[in-house]
A and B are shown apart, each in its own frame.
Chain A
C-alpha cells in the first residue's frame, strides 16, 4: 500500500520537480509575487497615486529637513578677530537661480532650501564683503558640469601703519567652492577672467548686450573705496595719498573682500573685511521630482514625485490580473475547442484548424494591437486582446493530444460500451491533456504579461497614470529620459516575474514529461 503511494504519478512528478533547484526557486518566487499582488497594497509604504511630498506631513517626515540645510557664517575683522553671525548686520542673501534653490537668513546662520535639481551659487553679502557657496541639488539634472566658482577672497591684512607717499603690494589668496586655493593675484585674475569673463562674452554675443556694464557681472575688480586716502592699480599696488583710513576692495565674481590700511598715526576702528562660510559646497536633494533611491524611497520617485516602490507593488496586481485572467480565458476556450475539434473531427475540425493556422501566422503582439484597435484602449480590452492570441495555442496542443488519446484502448473501450461522447471527452480525454495544458498555461502567463506590458507601454492601456508596470515605463520614457531608476525598477519587476513563470514552466515540463522538450 505504502509502496503504491510512493509510485503514484503525482509523487513521481513531485520528486522530479523538486530535483530541479532553479525551478523550485522560481516557484517560490511565483508564490511570493502572487502574495505581493494580493496583499502588497496593505504594506506599500506610500500612496502610489500622490506625490510623496504631499504625504510626508501625514507620515511625520519633515520635508524641510530633507530639502534644507543651515550653514553657519562668521565675519573676519581687520584686527584679526572673528565675530559670530548674530553680531553681523546687514546680511543679504540671494541665489543665482531661485528655481533651483533659495537662501535666507536664519537663527543660526543662513538656510538653503532646494527647489529643483541643478546647481547654483548662494551669495551671502554683508556691506562691502560677500562670500559664495555652491549649491548642488541632486535629481534629474546631472551635476557633472558644475564648475567651481570663487567662494571667498582672502587679503593679507597688514599690521603696520603707512604714511603718505608709501606704496604697498597687496597679497591675495582665494578659496574656490571645491576647496582648492588660489595663491596669487595673477592666478586669481586669470581664473576670474576665465570663469566670469566668458560669461560676458556669451552675453554679448547673445541678445542681452546691455549687461556688459552691469557691476555684478564684473569678472575681476580691484578698487579703492576711499579715493582720497589710497589709490590702487590693477596689479594690487596701493599708493597712499593722505592720512586717514584706507579701504581697498577686491571683487572676483560674486565674492568680495576688503583690506584696511591705517595711513598716518591716528588709529582707526576695525572693519569687517571678509565673510567665512562654514562650507563652500552645499549638497541637497531635490525632493519634488525624481528622488534617487534612498532609505526613504528604495526605488526612488518618478517625474510626479510618486514612490516607485509603492507603484511597483500596486502594479503587481494589475500585471498578474492581465496574465492570469487572459490566459485563463484563452485556456478554457482553447481547450474546449481543441477537445471538440480533436474528438469529433470533420468540418468542425477543419474549420477550427484553419482558424488556428491563420491566427498563429500573426505575431501575438500585432494580433493584440488589432483587437485593441477594434475595442479601444483599456485594461479589460488588453486582457481580452491577450486572450485572443492565447486561444489558438491551446487549441493546437489540446487538439493534438486529443487525437492521440482518442486512439487509446480505454477510450475505445468506453465507446464500445456506449458511454456518451460528452462523458468520454471530459472524463477520459480531458484529464489526459491536463499535464500539457498545465505546462503551457504556466509558460503562457509569462508571455501574456510581456504582451500586456507592451500594450500598456504603447499607451493602449487607457489610464496612463495607473500604477501599471508598462504604463510606468511609458511615462518614464516620456518624462524621465535620463533618469535611470525611473525606468529600471518597473522593468526589473516585469523581468523577474516573467522569468519566474518561465523557469517554473520549464521545470514543470521537464518533470511532467521530458518528451515535451522540443
Chain B
C-alpha cells in the first residue's frame, strides 16, 4: 500500500448557494485529502456542508442555485473542476461512485435491479449485455444478496431497505472505482441492518482496495470504519486527525461536544451531554469563530477574529484559538 499517494486532494474549496438574491458560502475554503486505500470519515451535523462537498466532487451540485466559487478538487492529479461535462460523465460511476442515504428511494422503481446495475456497467465498459448480466449477478453475490439470479429480475419495491442498500453498493462498486463516496449509507437503516452493511463495506474495501469517503454524523460508525476523520462545522473543517487521536485526544470544543453526546454503556449519567444552541445558518456568521455562540470555552477573541487552522502534531489540525499560543501550534492557513 502506497500511503503517500493521494487519490483525492481538495484545496480551498468554496461552494456558494444563491438564496433570495444573496449568495451564501455553504462550504467555505475547506481542504482535505484521501489517500489510496484509506477510509476518510467526514463528520458533522446536518447542514454543515458535508453532503454538498461530496456532490461537488461528483460535479452534481444543482446549478443554479449552487456553484463552486473557489478552490480545486484534484482526483489523481487532475482538477475535476476543469473537466467538461462529457469528461466528468466518464468519471462518475466509473472512477468515483457514490451511494446515498436513502436506499428506499435511490433506486428507480420502474426498472429491474439487473437493469440498474447493467446500466452503469454498459456505460463505462466495452461489454455486451450477457457479459454485463454475468457481472451484475457476480456483483449481487459479492454484496451478499441471496438468490442473485432471481433478484436480478426483481423490482426495487420487492426488496427491503437493507437489500436495496446492498444493491446500491453493488452499483457503486460495479466499475471498480478508485473512490467510493458513501453519504450516510446506514442512517436510514435499522441498527442490525446497519451493522451488516458496515461489515460488508469493510470487507469489500479490503477486497477491492477502494478508497472511501465516509460521510456520517455518527461517531460510532466512524470508530468502526475510518482511518482518518475530518470534522466539519458550518462549512469549515474544524478538526482533522486520525481516528485514534479523535477519540483519545480531541482538541476542538465542538469535537469534544460531539463525543460527549455519545452515551457510554459503562457510565450511568442522569442527563446526556448536548451542545446547546443550533448550527448557525451557513454564511450568517460574518466574523469570528462560527462555533463561538455554542462554545463552553468561548473567549472574547473568538467573536472578533477568525480562528486559523492550527497544526497540533503531524496529521492533526484544529481550528480554535485555545491552541493558538500552545507549543507546536503552528498556523497552517492564513
A and B touch in the complex (CB under 8 A): no
Interface residues, chain B, with chain A CB atoms under 8 Å away: none
